Structure 1
């Protein structure tokens, strides 16, 4: 692998600092995690965006969350077609093997992926319509959400509405997975929708009765 390079020095320094402080001070805890395995209570599906830091938002430590990140925190519908499905595989493992009690979809403000979906669906990004566009084909998942907000005239509000639709569409798609639906109906799993406003540090939850988002 001649293309692989050593880590840049700033990452090496950060690792060494972590190993000398946080790890050393909690060595027994890390050893226990390694030998006893993970038992997270919740799975979080969030965006890849570097500004969304799930463990910081909830003050979580190692072993608490099973986290999956992808573009625009989307979950595709259940499609056992034999193709590669990273998100679907992660959901399956969390629900059937780890037996998480909570499954959280976390959206966020100023989401570039959602903006890409908006541009694509409104005809402003033809490059995303190309079959070869991985981002475009992934954002196809959100087209039903776009159809629900496309008539909003305020562009800023329309984008925020679509960011929240990304959460709603993902929750709807999660219920198409038989093992998710079974766990929810049995009461062993609960689904939660959240949206965070990055600049203000705000957090809103999806109210299932009217599909609105309310402050936590």
Structure 2
């Protein structure tokens, strides 16, 4: 019951902040949403994109799944994720898409150290096959590195895979080519507290927000 009481108390604070202290915000949102950002993040409970970015209601259209993956545009693509991307890009006409990965991702760890299915279903394993080519490349190219280093490399590479897969959606690619949509790859290092962003020019992840000195 402690969790439930915490959630109810949290909603009361939310209600006070957005319906009493700032009634105009939801007044404007009742007519519809116009977020300018689509964020594709992980389901991990430690990585809440709204909390991490300090966003208000209406700022961000969020899609969360295991390991923040984007399936390629194929007839068998996951309708849940693909339909959310389609809605955000084609109907809401967002101006940017951020793929937000993070350190110590359980989905990537399961991909890098697979086990036989433990249940009658294997939905997690089926989903993580999207990133199988990345895992195989990391194992091949970094065979001499530790498992932690391989996991870290796979976390970063899976973000780039998702960015590439976004461009397989023709309507999304057109908006990118027309200059109406920007794609971003971000990585939250929950060990240090840093936020990294992929630089296509330098072909590496660089700090957007450096860790606090105390985090070292």
From the superposition, tell whether residues 106 and 21 of structure 1 become closer, same or farther in structure 2 (CA, over 3 Å). Answer: closer
Residue number among 163, 181, 185 corresponding to 1:193 in the alignment: 185
Structure 2 unaligned residues grouped into runs of 5+: 209-216
| TM-score, normalised by the number of residues in structure 1 | 0.87
Pairwise CA RMSD: 2.0
From the superposition, tell whether residues 72 and 84 of structure 1 become closer, same or farther in structure 2 (CA, over 3 Å). Answer: closer
Please state whether the residue corresponding to 1:150 is helix, strand or coil. helix
Structure 1 unaligned residues grouped into runs of 5+: 1-6
Structure 2 residue 160 is matched with structure 1 residue 164:
no
Aligned to 1:85: 79
The number of equivalent residue pairs is 203
Structure 2 residue 65 is matched with structure 1 residue 70:
yes
1:5-28 superposed Cα distances (whole Å, 9 cap, x missing partner): xx9343223323332344310112
| TM-score, normalised by the number of residues in structure 2 | 0.87
Please state whether the residue corresponding to 2:187 is helix, strand or coil. strand
From the superposition, tell whether residues 194 and 84 of structure 1 become closer, same or farther in structure 2 (CA, over 3 Å). Answer: closer
2 CA distance for matches of 1:158 and 1:203?
20
Deviation at 1:132, TM superposition (A): 3.0
Aligned to 1:94: 88
2 CA distance for matches of 1:185 and 1:52?
31
1:125-147 superposed Cα distances (whole Å, 9 cap, x missing partner): 1227x893000000000111112
2 CA distance for matches of 1:22 and 1:31?
10
Aligned to 2:211: none
Structure 2 residue 191 is matched with structure 1 residue 202:
no
Aligned to 2:213: none
From the superposition, tell whether residues 28 and 160 of structure 1 become closer, same or farther in structure 2 (CA, over 3 Å). Answer: same
Residues 69-148 of structure 1 aligned to structure 2 (within 5 Å) = 69-81=64-76, 85-120=79-114, 125-127=115-117, 132-148=121-137
Farther-moved stretch of structure 1 (84-93 vs 202-211): 202-211
Structure 2 residue 33 is matched with structure 1 residue 24:
no
Structure 2 residue 205 is matched with structure 1 residue 213:
yes
Deviation at 1:160, TM superposition (A): 0.3
2 CA distance for matches of 1:206 and 1:132?
35
